[in-house]
Amino acid sequence: MLVHAITPNTSYEFATDVRAGLARAGQKELPSKYLYDDVGSALFEVISHLPEYGLTRADERLLQRHSRDIVDRLAGPVAVAELGSGSGKKTRQILEALCSRQLTRYYPIEISRAALLMCERELSDIDCISILGFEREYLDGLLEVAAHRSKGQHLLVLFLGSTIGNFDRPAGIQFLAEVRRILQPGDSLLLGTDLMKSNSQLLAAYDDELGVTAAFNLNLLARINRDLDADFNIAEFEHVAKINHQNRSVEMHLRSMCRQTANIRAAEISVEFLEGETIWTESSHKYSPEEVFDMARATGFRCVAQWVDEQWPFAENLLVAE
């Protein structure tokens, strides 16, 4: 097995995005992808095991129960690409089901090198797969994978968990359409979608009693301090989770507990915060089962199967490129 990291020049992009997001008028904002550095990725692995956060376990249950059915619906020889592989633990079910019928090439795509290495360790005992990992943004990595496909080979793209929910609905539609443009007719996308549930269940999932989600969110400021030579006083910020009923989403914010200024030298900016002012760091949108079929039709896919977990409302959806 081999994990091959192709590392883009991320420092300039990170500084540019931080400057743009914190200098904007009105609501300050940072892209959620920057939550997932090595520390953030490790903290998210802990979050996935918390009793309040049932999403990961629902994802795993569906894959354990239905991987064989999913694989049986795929035509021809298949290579697997995963957008945001994380540790690769959940992916094992799909890969083992595929390996019962063919040798399988697996392409994890991650912005975290530590996550790629965890993925390699997690899946190293499966004999009939080869791994080629890309330390890339999702679409850049998928383009690399498409360039590696063999003649007559189909791609199965995995986009598990609730990552599609980090996009607002128009941006999610645009992202799925861009994925479709990279794929060929007959290729497949296994899409995880978190479904709507009670407000109390949602708030507990994104603001756990142990404070792990708070540490995950606050680590973004620590990352800016480390990577961009900044001086955020992290003790003067707090994690906030709130429900946006209009958008059917849960939002994560970092709230300044006093009037203060942060200097971000690599981004060449000083940012003033009022007491109570927030930085919006992530949204997680929730869906209805029927909405996924509409999303598929709008982006050049057809949803051919949907499996729903009843313990924690969550769906795996198999989309086929038309």
User: Residue 26: left if φ>0, alpha if ψ -120 to 50, beta else—which one?
Assistant: left
**Tell me, what's the pLDDT at 5?**
47
Better-scored residue on pLDDT, 62 or 127:
62
Q: What is the pLDDT of residue 9?
A: 57
Co-location of 278 and 295 in the same domain: no
Establish if 8 belongs to a structural domain.
no
The answer to whether residues 230 and 265 touch, using CB atoms and an 8 Å cutoff, is: yes
- Residues 62, 180 within the same domain: yes
Among 130, 42, 131, CA closest to 87: 42
**In the predicted model, is pLDDT for residue 23 greater than 50?**
yes
Claim to verify: residue 162 and residue 193 sit in the same structural domain: yes
CA distance 190 to 94: 10
Same domain, 99 and 206: no
Q: Return the pLDDT at 10.
A: 66
Whether residue 238 is contained in a domain is answered as yes
Q: What is the pLDDT of residue 3?
A: 44
pLDDT band per the 50, 70, 90 thresholds, residue 86? confident
Q: Is residue 185 part of a domain?
A: yes
Residues whose CB is less than 8 angstroms from the CB of residue 152 and which lie 6 or more positions away in sequence, other chains included: 76, 77
Buried/exposed code over 174-211 (b: 16+ C-beta within 10 A; e: otherwise): ebbeebbebbeeebbbbbbbbbeeeeeebebbbbbeee
Looking at the whole model, is its pTM more than 0.85? yes
Q: Cα dihedral angle (44, 45, 51, 52), rounded to 10 degrees?
A: 20
Judging by DSSP bridges, how do beta strands 104-110 and 129-131 pair with one another?
parallel
Question: Of all residues in the chain, what percent carry a pLDDT higher than 90?
Answer: 82
- For tokens 């633990």, the residue is 89
Examine the domain organization and report whether 62 and 119 are in the same domain: yes
Whether residues 153 and 62 fall in one domain:
yes
Asked whether residue 60 is domain-assigned, the answer is yes
pLDDT at 123: 92
262 and 182, same domain (yes or no) = no
Site of tokens 């009105």: 26
Q: Work out the average pLDDT over 259-281.
A: 98
Intra-chain end-to-end CA distance of the chain, in Å? 33
Establish if 14 belongs to a structural domain: no
Q: What is the mean pLDDT of the chain?
A: 94
Helices (H) and strands (E) in the chain, counts: 10, 14
User: 41 or 50: which carries more pLDDT confidence?
Assistant: 50
pLDDT of res. 2 = 43
Same domain (yes/no): 67, 167: yes
Give the residue-averaged pLDDT of 67-72: 96
How far, CA to CA in Å, does 95 sit from each of 33, 68, 98, 277?
26, 10, 5, 45
Same domain (yes/no): 173, 249: no
- Judge whether 12 lies within some domain: no
Whole-number Å distance between alpha carbons of 230 and 233 = 9
- pLDDT tens-place string over residues 184-194: 999 999 999 99
Q: What CATH code is carried by the domain that includes residue 171?
A: 3.40.50.150
The answer on 170 and 140 residing in a single domain is yes
* Cα distance between residue 322 and residue 301, in whole Å: 5
As a whole number of angstroms, the distance between CA 68 and CA 99 comes to 11
What average pLDDT does this structure show over 229-253? 97
Total domains in the fold of the chain: 2
The answer on pLDDT for 4 being more than 80 is no
Residue 4 in domain: no
Same domain, 146 and 120: yes
Establish if 309 belongs to a structural domain.
Answer: yes
Residue 159, domain extent: 55-197+286-321
What is the structure's pLDDT at 41? Answer: 87
Are 122 and 186 within one domain?
A: yes
